[in-house]
Structure 1
Amino acid sequence: MARTVSEPAITVHRVGREAQPVVVIDGFSAEPDALRAAAIAASFGPAAQHYPGIRAALPPAYVPTHLAVLAGVLGPVLGRGGAVDLIDASFSIVTTPPAALDIRQRLPHCDAFGADRIALVHYLAPHHADGTAFFRHRSTGFETIDDERAPIFFGQLEAELRHGGVPPARYVTGDTPLFERTLEIEARYNRALVYPSYLLHSGAIAPDALLSGDPADGRLTVTAFLSVG
């Protein structure tokens, strides 16, 4: 008897004052257990680009398999039409203890400045609820950082850090003197989060989180970056 696969459930949040869309897709993959098995068999290594953990290659079919679901949100919800190009995608696990975080990893960040860029996080750890939080920079009011805003934001942030000191050695999960949290999405098994890459955000990693590098136990996700249009 064939197994019944439920349709993904899509919820759209409009974040903060800028009302940018953040899309939650529950039941994103038809075969999440197979993805976990692939991750457990994969070879992980140190991540680049300031990601606080390790990464491994995805099965080649991952992105093509999920394009139909993504197409249902990229145009109608996110307002991004046109061809979808994959920039980067991998299995990812946060492993860096709070005490070892560099300054950039203690602050909200954006992944790209272009309006055509989209980020995807697919949560694949059944027992981890640490999701993703989104933020507003208090002094500028910015919730997104594009090419025009980038020099203003980074100049102001540098001045704030120079005069106010570096942030504590921990992952940013809530309000801080410099940033206000606008939304937090809890991780659930086989939940995906899709959002514009220029939104200020951070992994919402609890202080007591298990930061194992074992994909069977750690905060296993897929992270992907797309260009649309």
Structure 2
Amino acid sequence: MSDPFAIRMPPDIRSVRVGEHQVVFIDDFLEHPEALIEAATQARFEPCAGAAERKGYPGVRAPVPTAYTENLTELLDPLIRLNFGVPEELTLRKSPCTFSLTNVAPQDLGPLQRVPHFDASTPHFMAVLLYLCDERHGGTAFYRHKPSGLQQITAEKRDRYGEMIYAEVERRPAPPRYFTDSDECFELLGIMPARFNRLVIYRGSLLHSAIVNPQGLSSDPRQGRLTINTFYDF
């Protein structure tokens, strides 16, 4: 196998509208996705920053092979610019690619881990997610915050939204569960289902949440909700 992390060519790039926004996805993304699962079984997973405070990603993460990162960026730099209207003159900045394995039990989630979130409020911050698990592990859902009407948290809305959500969490804490359907504060707009070897791209400023099946929680990369998470900003 010359390149175990080769992307299947040509990629079958599709998009859907969720609420007011676009979500791009590519099925059967890699030629040999099982090579990444094998790499994950050899990786050293560590709790995420904020784990002790029950904040941030509810699980563990580990570095991804550099070759996957290079292949991904070569494809996504022009793809994101074209599909999301990123100006050519802006320079790409990228986070490390990480294996992510959800393993926190619902009763151990912190208050902000029980509600939808956004990753960043900058205009061209993109979240990229590769599913290395199947449909039993839920997917990614997108929401509208009912009191404000917001689906996307931009820089000018961030402080006000933060004040509102902290007040709501303090006044009426969400039950100890992974968020799924609509409730008093959030309206479910749509779900991108998990599918093995599916790549999903969306703006990190969108309100979203992982749909997690508690019965599927595991620290074994072969059994659990294994994804690769990457962030691009321009």
Structure 1-normalised TM-score? 0.90
Look up the SS of the partner of 2:49 in the other structure: coil
Do the aligned partners of residues 192 and 114 (structure 1) sit closer, same or farther apart at CA in structure 2, a change above 3 Å counting?
Answer: same
Other structure's SS at 1:65 match: helix
Contact 1:7 1:27 in 2 (8 A): no
Residue of structure 2 aligned with 1:10, choices 6, 9, 13 = 13
1:118 CA displacement:
0.6
CA contact (8 A) 2:45 2:60 kept: yes
Give the equivalent residue in structure 1 for 2:225: 219
**Quick one: distance in 2 between partners of 1:109 and 1:144?**
10
- Superposition deviation, residue 61 in structure 1: 1.4
Query: What is the Cα deviation at residue 153 of structure 1?
Result: 0.9
Per-residue displacement from partner, 1:120-170 (whole Å, max 9, x unpaired)?
A: 11000246341100110001000111211011111122332333x100111
| Separation (CA, whole Å) in 2 of partners of 1:167 and 1:155 | 17
**Aligned equivalents of 1:147 and 1:72: distance in 2?**
25
Amino acid at match of 1:173: T
Correspondence for 1:204? 211
Count of residues paired in the alignment: 224
CA distance in 1, matches of 2:136, 2:75: 24
Q: Higher helix fraction: Structure 1 or Structure 2? A: 2
Q: 2:164 aligns with which of 156, 160, 164?
A: 156
- 2:186 pairs, out of 146, 159, 179, with 179
Partner letter of residue 79 of structure 1? G
Aligned in 2, Cα 1:126/1:179: closer, same or farther, shift over 3 Å? closer
Distance 1:30 1:72, change over 3 A: farther
Which of the residues 64, 69, 72 maps onto 1:63? 69
Structure 2: segments with no counterpart, 5+ residues: 3-7, 51-55
How far apart are the structure 2 equivalents of 1:177 and 1:100? Answer: 22
Is the partner of 1:149 in helix, strand or coil? helix
User: Aligned residues: percent identity?
Assistant: 35
- In structure 2, give the amino acid aligned to 1:185: M
CA contact (8 A) 2:95 2:231 kept: yes
Partner of 1:122: 130
Bigger drift between 78-87 and 187-196 goes to: 78-87
Contact 1:57 1:91 in 2 (8 A): yes
The AA in structure 2 aligned to 1:13 is V
Whichever residue aligns with residue 79 of structure 2, its letter is V
Q: How does 1:64-79 map to 2 (within 5 A)?
A: 64-79=70-85
**Letter matched to residue 63 of structure 1:** T
Could you say what the CA RMSD is over the residues aligned between the two structures, in angstroms? 2.2
**d(CA) in 2 for partners of 1:121, 1:210:** 18
Task: Indicate conservation of the 8 Å contact 2:126/2:232, yes or no.
Answer: yes
Q: Is structure 2 residue 40 aligned with structure 1 residue 39?
A: yes
Which residue is equivalent to 2:201?
194
Residue identity opposite 2:11 in structure 1:
P
**What whole-Å deviation, never above 9, does each CA across 1:11-43 have from its counterpart, x for those lacking one?**
212221xx2211111122222111111111111
Distance 2:10 2:231 in 1: 23
Deviations for 1:60-99, whole angstroms, at most 9, x for unmatched residues? 1112112343245302211124432212320000000100
Counterpart for residue 152 of structure 2:
144
Q: Which residue identity does 2:23 align to in structure 1?
A: V
Structure 1 spans left out of the alignment, 5+ residues: none
Instruction: Tell me how far apart the structure 1 counterparts of residues 160 and 215 of structure 2 sit (CA, whole Å).
Output: 34
CA distance in 2 between partners of 1:129 and 1:109 (Å): 19
TM-score by length of structure 2 reads 0.89
